[in-house]
Amino acid sequence: MADAQPLQPIVEMRSIEKAFGAVQALRKVDLVLYPGEILGLVGDNSAGKSTLMKILTGAYQRDSGEILVAGQPVYFKGPHESRDAGIEMIYQDFALCGNMDVGQNIFLGRWPLRGPFVNRRKMYAEADSVLKRLKVDVNSVYQKVESLSGGRQQSVAIARAISFEPRVVILDEPTANLSVMATERLLETMLELKKQGVAQIIISHRLVDIFAVGDRVMVLKRGEYVGDRYVKNTDEHEVLEIIVSGTRENALTADEARHIDRPSTP
């Protein structure tokens, strides 16, 4: 019997560097993400987390380094190119149009047409289908987004991202402004996406959320990678120690993270 083939990462970022003038934001940062994996990306406010993710989505251009998606080298000139490769990012402000309804927001800028007119029946049916797929609770696809709670607006933003059939979803501080109940619903949605094979990266200061749904946590410190931990093999106290100290001691190196056995995929 042939040996099982190792699981290929859906995303690899190798030796990524980025400077803004005299400020070196990232120094040879590595990141590995596997299909269906939930990775927590943590560190202090100057760690470079958002910069790294904006490079992955094409919002920023890297100075040096390499990015591979499903094993293929890529160079994204803008977010539309990363979207075409199956990568979506959901920002803290959700980027929704409050005066439009749920269905219009999910298909904003790409409304299905019937001749020269918007096919509203198809748009709302497909919007409802995406929401049901995510098992999220939004009262009506006809409801104005501005009338929704923060948690439900978050659900609409996720539904819009999922409507593009992504392989990777990046969430920037997704629970920062949510109630306890809304946070629980969001974490349930993330686990549902995991079941469907969607890989996710959570940028968050809330370790409790990462430990609730994450598989692995990666720490950045002053623009440098300082290691990984499997959630099942660590605790919040240990991760906080790595964040504060920036030590690599006993932390997985990027190469080890790339080659060790991975959790089984959905």
Domain boundaries along the sequence of the chain: 1-86+167-265, 96-165
Instruction: Give residue 261's pLDDT.
Output: 45
CA separation for the pair 121, 126 (Å, rounded): 9
pTM assigned to the model: 0.85
CA separation for the pair 170, 180 (Å, rounded): 21
Instruction: Give residue 99's pLDDT.
Output: 92
Instruction: Give residue 93's pLDDT.
Output: 79
Beta strands in the chain (DSSP E): 11-20, 23-33, 38-42, 64-69, 72-74, 87-90, 113-114, 117-118, 168-172, 199-203, 216-221, 224-230
Question: Low-confidence residues of the chain, pLDDT below 70?
Answer: 1-6, 247-266
Instruction: Give residue 78's pLDDT.
Output: 94
Nearest alpha-carbon partner for 102 in 148, 61, 60, 161: 148
CATH number 3.40.50.300 is the correct assignment for the domain at 1-86+167-265: yes
Give the tens place of pLDDT for each residue, 213-224: 999 999 999 999
Contact 28, 16 (CB under 8 A): yes
Instruction: Give residue 2's pLDDT.
Output: 52
Instruction: Give residue 262's pLDDT.
Output: 47
Instruction: Give residue 3's pLDDT.
Output: 54
Instruction: Give residue 172's pLDDT.
Output: 92
